[in-house]
Structure formats: C-alpha cells, structure tokens
C-alpha cells in the first residue's frame, strides 16, 4: 500500500502557510506594496502642507527620547530599493542603510512576502527557553557558510550586535579563566553596553561610567606610518608589522596568562573604515595562537559586505578564528564559536533571540548573499566599490580644493566592498559633519566615521542598488560639496 498524507501527519501551522487563501493574500499584499512603491522614482522634497505635521512629530520624538535626532529622519514605512520615503513625503537615497542593517533596501518585494508569512507565527519574539524551528534554520544556514572556511561550529543567537559581543566576551573569559584582560585595537568600537563601552576606544562613550574592565590597546595598521618606515630591502609594511608583533609580545609578557582574548576588527568601522593587509593579521593571530590567547573576530559591520560573506574568509584567516560575531544585515545577530570554545551550560542565555520576522528574513538574506553573485573580484560588492571610488576620484580631479591633505590619510578613498568612505575638507570634523547634514538636505543619507581625521562613510544597500544609480547619487554629492565649500 502507498502511504497517504492526512491532516494528522502535518502540523496545523504548516497547513496554514500553504492554504490557498493565505498564499493569495500574501501575494496580493506584495503586489500592493510593489504598486505603491513604484511611485517612488527619485529624490524629491516634502509634500506641500506636511511640514507642520512632520515638525510636530520630530518635536514629539525629541521629547520622548530626551534629545533630538541627528537627522530629521522619520521614515514613512515605504521605499523602493535604495530610495526611502520619509513621513513628510520626501524621498532620499539611503546610502547608510540604518548603519548597515538594510542591505536589501526598502520594501524589497520578496522580503516583504517572507515577513508577511512570518507574521502568521504565534509569537512576535522567540527566545532561548521557547523557540520555534525558525531559530534553528537560521543558525544552520549561517553556520553552513561560516564553517566552509573556519572551524566555527556553533551559534548563539541574540537580538543585538552588542549582546553578540557580550556573549563572545563571556565565552572567552570562561575559556581562559581566571584571565581578566582583553586586547583590542586602538580606535575600535564594540557596542554600547557598560563593558563594551570600556573596551571600545571612544572616551565619549564611557563618560561617567565606573571602569572595571582591563584593556590593552594595540595599534591598528597605519599605511602612512608603514610608508615612513620603508627602508633598505624591507618594505615599510614588514617593518610596521614587526613593531606591532613586538608590542603584542610585550603586552603578553607584562601580564602572563591574563588575557582572555584579542578582539579583531578586520576593517575598522567607527574608527574610519581602515583596512589592513592579510599579513598584518596573520602575524598577530599567530602570536595569539602560540600563546594560547583566543582570537575573536568582530564582524558585526563587515559581515556580508566584503569579497566574501565573512571578511575573515576574504582575508584567508579562517584557520585562526576561535570566535566570531555577526549582525546588522543578518537582522538577528549571532556569536559563533568553535567546538573547543563551546561554553558550559548556563553561561549564555537571554529572554529574546530575535523576532520571528527577523529570523525568517535574516535566513533568506544569508541565502541571497550566498547565491546572488556578490562576492569575488568580479562580484557586485567589488564592482560597486570601484564605481564609488571612481566617482570620488573624478570629483577630486575636478575640484582638488575640496580634498586637501588630511593627517595620516594616504588615499582620499578607503574601505572594501560595501564599506566605503571618502575624506574631503582635510578630515576636519566640523566640516565633515556639516557636509553630512547638507547631503541629507540635498537627498543622500550618509554618516561620518573616524577619530580624527574624520570621513564621510557609506554603507549602501548593495543588494538592490543599481550601478547606474551612482550617477544621480554623486550629482547630489557634488552639489553638497559645493555648498559646504562656498
């Protein structure tokens, strides 16, 4: 006899998702979103008569938060690709994507459909005591990609990048107990919790906080300094790396067996989108491995944006990685670790791991990153970076007065893949911030980074941005630069 499937063989939830009426409703909803977003075709100003209401909303927001917003940005809830509509009806190019969250832009049809289906789930948030299979599928999909080039074997899911980093820190401290120190790079950023604010190298982020975390700071790669060190038959890079390796050894010797980990930003985010050659990391990570210090790679901002899904893979560093944290574009964040670093029961937990919508949309984002042609030297991430860099350099050639030398800046353009920055006005903070605000007014949303010099940074929604859109974006950039330089 041939087995037949009956209602008793299938969970009710699965049958619900496949009901004709449900599928038709979701498809109809997606079509309506597509139809509405098709009216968003380019940058435009606010709708007449909406300014008073919008200003009232901004004032209410400031009252609720205790201070105003950096930008007068309140989204309407609709967009189209790289374009986003604000609640006043204006439309802007979103080239910062929520500081990296919205890699697939706004109102992307497939993800809207997945979110609508996920909304049928019985809970809004899932947690560590009670999770649905969505959490397992998300973790498996992420680990499948991570394990291709590393020994990462397990994932603890969290609802923020800061909590992923807190989890990584706990894993390392437990593994190396009673070690009590952390090594990090100068100008790093780790998150906004009390402990992470102490590790992050930003004094403003810990004003008024009692300090109890012991941190040793290593210099990040400095191309300008490396060039100054070039002499004889050794390159400046090799000389600079030698100095850093010696400095790391001194830190480890000064506090024997007291370091729980060395946390690596492979591209510094808030620190200025600074990059480093592979050999810089290899030498430092080799010292860590030889001295028993776990290597933790913080990919909260780099995840998905470079020449591979994981930046450690793009740099060929997977064999050294003990712990890795990811977030932002993945929607749900995670702390990944090897079997050797797997913590004891009770160390990691939390009420929330993420929303049902975040888990399902995040899993699909990882699949699309895997299959969408984003990676490799000819992938779309690399092509977009070259398009961005070419536009900046053309502006510099046309208006060199806008790009005077900035301290320690070798190239006016820096970053990798979807992490992009440029340095006008000598990197002076006040001028960079003024430019970012002017860009916003003109119709392009960016932000700044760096600790002096400062830079304009972009984290564009490369999942949906078309290469030809760099043209209108840089028409606005040129207009804003002219306004600020005038």
Pairing of strands 181-185, 259-264: parallel
Running DSSP on this structure, what letter comes out for residue 399?
A: -
**Would you state the pLDDT for residue 486?**
82
What percentage of the chain exceeds 90 in pLDDT?
A: 94
Task: Please write the tens of the pLDDT for every residue from 79-90.
Answer: 999 999 999 999
**What three-state secondary structure class fits 230?**
coil
Query: Residues near 360 by Cβ (< 8 Å), separated by ≥ 6?
Result: 114, 115, 117, 118, 134, 138
Range from 4-8, 40-44, 107-111, 354-358 carrying the lowest mean pLDDT: 4-8
Other C-beta atoms lying within 10 Å of the C-beta of residue 208: 4
Is-contact 209 217, C-beta < 8 A?
A: no
- pLDDT attached to residue 432: 98
Instruction: Tell whether the torsion through CA atoms of 219, 222, 225 and 229 is positive or negative.
Output: positive
Chain region(s) in the chain for CATH 3.40.640.10 = 125-371
Question: In the predicted model, what is the mean pLDDT of the chain?
Answer: 96
Chain centroid to CA 308? 14
Question: How far is residue 133 CA from its own chain's centroid?
Answer: 26
Q: Give CA–CA dist 449/447, Å, rounded.
A: 7
Average pLDDT over residues 274-282: 97
Average pLDDT over residues 133-139: 97
Q: Where does the chain hold its CATH 3.90.1150.10 domain(s)?
A: 39-100+376-486
Contacts 24+ apart (CB under 8 A), 472-478: 472/42, 472/43, 472/93, 473/93, 473/95, 473/391, 473/444, 474/391, 474/395, 476/43, 476/93, 476/439, 476/442, 476/443, 476/444, 477/391, 477/395, 477/439, 477/444, 478/395, 478/399
Q: What percentage of the chain reaches a pLDDT higher than 70?
A: 98
Which fold, 39-100+376-486? 3.90.1150
Measured distance CA(480)–CA(447) in Å, rounded: 14
Model confidence at 8, in pLDDT bands (50, 70, 90)?
A: confident
Residues 127/313, Cβ–Cβ less than 8 Å: no
Class of domain 125-371: alpha beta
Whether the predicted pLDDT of 135 surpasses 80: yes
Q: What's the mean pLDDT in 97-121?
A: 97
- Which distant-in-sequence residues (6+ apart) come within 8 Å of 347 by Cβ? 170, 171, 174
Under 8 Å CB-to-CB from 96, ≥6 apart: which residues?
445, 446, 447, 457, 458, 459, 460
Asked whether the predicted pLDDT for residue 1 surpasses 50, the reply is: no
pLDDT of residue 426: 97
Of 9 and 32, which is predicted with more confidence? 32
Q: Contact 103/93 with Cβ under 8 angstroms? A: no
Q: Quick one: 240 exposed, middle or buried, by C-beta within 10 A (0-12, 13-18, 19+)?
A: buried
pTM of the shown model: 0.95
Cα-based angle 341, 346, 352 (whole degrees, multiple of 5): 100
- What are the residues facing 106 on neighbouring strands? 81
Q: What is the pLDDT of residues 198-243, one digit of tens each?
A: 999 999 999 999 999 999 999 999 999 999 988 655 689 999 999 9
Over residues 296-313, the pLDDT tens digits come to 999 999 999 999 999 999
């Amino acid at each position: 006899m041939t087995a037949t499937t009956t209602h008793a063989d299938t969970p009710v939830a699965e049958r619900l998702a496949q009901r004709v009426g449900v599928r038709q409703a979701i498809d109809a909803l997606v079509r309506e979103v597509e139809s509405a977003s098709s009216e968003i075709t380019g940058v435009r100003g606010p709708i007449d008569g909406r300014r008073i209401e919008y200003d009232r909303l901004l004032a209410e927001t400031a009252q609720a938060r205790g201070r105003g917003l950096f930008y007068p940005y309140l989204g309407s809830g609709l967009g189209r690709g790289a374009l986003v509509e604000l609640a006043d009806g204006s439309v802007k190019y979103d080239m910062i994507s929520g500081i990296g969250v919205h890699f697939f832009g706004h109102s992307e049809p497939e993800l809207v459909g997945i979110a609508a289906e996920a909304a049928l789930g019985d809970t809004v948030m899932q947690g560590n005591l009670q999770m649905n299979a969505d959490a397992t599928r998300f973790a498996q999909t992420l680990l499948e990609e991570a394990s291709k080039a590393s020994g990462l074997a397990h994932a603890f899911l969290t609802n923020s990048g800061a909590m992923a980093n807190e989890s990584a820190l706990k894993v390392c401290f437990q593994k190396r107990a009673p070690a009590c120190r952390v090594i990090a790079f100068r100008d790093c950023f780790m998150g906004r919790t009390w402990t992470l604010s102490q590790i992050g190298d930003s004094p403003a982020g810990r004003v008024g906080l009692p300090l109890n975390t012991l941190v040793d700071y290593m210099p990040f790669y400095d191309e300008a300094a490396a060039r100054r060190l070039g002499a004889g038959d050794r390159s400046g890079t090799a000389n600079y790396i030698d100095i850093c390796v010696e400095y790391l050894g001194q830190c480890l010797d000064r506090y024997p067996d007291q370091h729980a980990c060395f946390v690596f930003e492979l591209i510094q985010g808030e620190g200025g989108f600074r990059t480093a050659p592979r050999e810089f990391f290899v030498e430092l990570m080799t010292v860590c491995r030889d001295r028993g210090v776990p290597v933790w790679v913080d990919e909260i901002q780099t995840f998905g944006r470079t020449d591979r899904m994981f930046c450690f893979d793009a740099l060929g560093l997977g064999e050294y990685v003990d712990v890795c944290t990811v977030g932002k574009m993945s929607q749900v964040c995670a702390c990944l670790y090897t079997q050797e670093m797997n913590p004891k029961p009770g160390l990691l937990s939390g009420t929330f791991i993420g929303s049902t919508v975040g888990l399902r949309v995040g899993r699909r984002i990882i699949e699309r990153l895997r299959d969408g042609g984003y990676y490799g030297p000819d992938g779309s991430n690399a092509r977009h970076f070259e398009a961005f860099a070419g536009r900046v350099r053309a502006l510099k050639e046309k208006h060199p007065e806008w790009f005077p030398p900035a301290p320690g800046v070798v190239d006016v353009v820096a970053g990798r893949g979807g992490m992009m920055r440029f340095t006008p006005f000598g990197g002076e903070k006040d001028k960079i911030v003024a430019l970012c605000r002017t860009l916003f007014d003109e119709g392009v949303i960016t932000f700044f980074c760096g600790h002096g010099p400062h830079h304009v940074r972009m984290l564009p929604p490369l999942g949906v941005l078309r290469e030809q859109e760099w043209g209108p974006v840089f028409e606005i950039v040129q207009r804003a630069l002219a306004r600020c330089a005038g």
